[in-house]
Copies of this chain bind each other. A is one copy, B any other.
Amino acid sequence: MKSPSQPRDRGIPDATVARLPLYLRALNGMAEKAIATVSSEDLAVAAGVNSAKLRKDLSHLGSYGTRGVGYDVEYLVYQISRELGLTQDWAVAIVGVGNLGRALANYGGFVSRGFRVAALIDADPEVVGDDIAGLNVEHIDELEAVIKRRGVSIVVLATPAAAAQEVCDRVVAVGVTSILNFAPVVLSVPDGVDVRKVDLSIELQILAFHEQRKAGGPLMAVDSQ
């Protein structure tokens, strides 16, 4: 007995949330190809996951499939988008306009999904004032003012490691609770603030570990048949 008007649960597992964007991308690809309906099996293949897992994930949002048929692509795109909060417009500020910050500012994948780069901020007087991706780079002194004025709710940190914690403290102080951190440091934040970390060198190190294993690990006596 579930109320159809409130089908989804307050608590969607983190593992599920992390996969929803994957499903969404696969679904968008199908919508472009004018595919109207898709089975969990086909969608699972496109997203690179197990089909039972996919069905369980989707069941957390509600009961949006039709047995014997599958899922309506457009409808599912809408439901997932809404669940992820992509039906609204998110203003993002990028702090740190070095190589990476510049790349992020120009990255098309942001705009395409409800995200809008609303501000570029840097400390270097050399870059401040420059136009990048159609935006004027503003000075770090304006950080708090810009965040408030533009209604920024998500901050991307692309600063050097040494500056990240300080910038983080400042944006948290003006009420930002969602941070995407590219700086190679562990940020400490108060409860209620979400930090997600992307660390290029860590990913490479994990690859190196496995690569080394394949090649015959450290001190490994390879079963050299």
Which A residues lie at the B interface, using CB under 8 A? 6, 10, 17-18, 20-22, 24-26, 46-48, 82-88, 90, 92, 98-100, 102-104, 106-107, 109-110, 112-115, 153-154, 177-180, 184, 186, 188, 192, 194, 196, 198-212, 214, 217-219
Contacts and interface: CB of A to CB of B under 8 A. Distances in A.
A201 B98 CA distance: 19
A110 B211 contact: no
Given A87-B218, A103-B103, A196-B207, 9 more contacts: A18-B206, A20-B205, A48-B188, A110-B200, A153-B211, A154-B204, A177-B214, A196-B206, A198-B198
14 contacts: A48-B188, A84-B212, A98-B103, A99-B102, A103-B103, A109-B184, A109-B201, A113-B205, A178-B207, A178-B211, A180-B204, A194-B207, A196-B203, A198-B198
Contacts of A201: 21, 109-110, 112-113, 115
A196 B20 CA distance: 18
A107 B210 CA distance: 23
A30 to B, nearest CB: 13
Contact of A200 (B25, B83, B109, B206): B109
B99 A186 contact: no
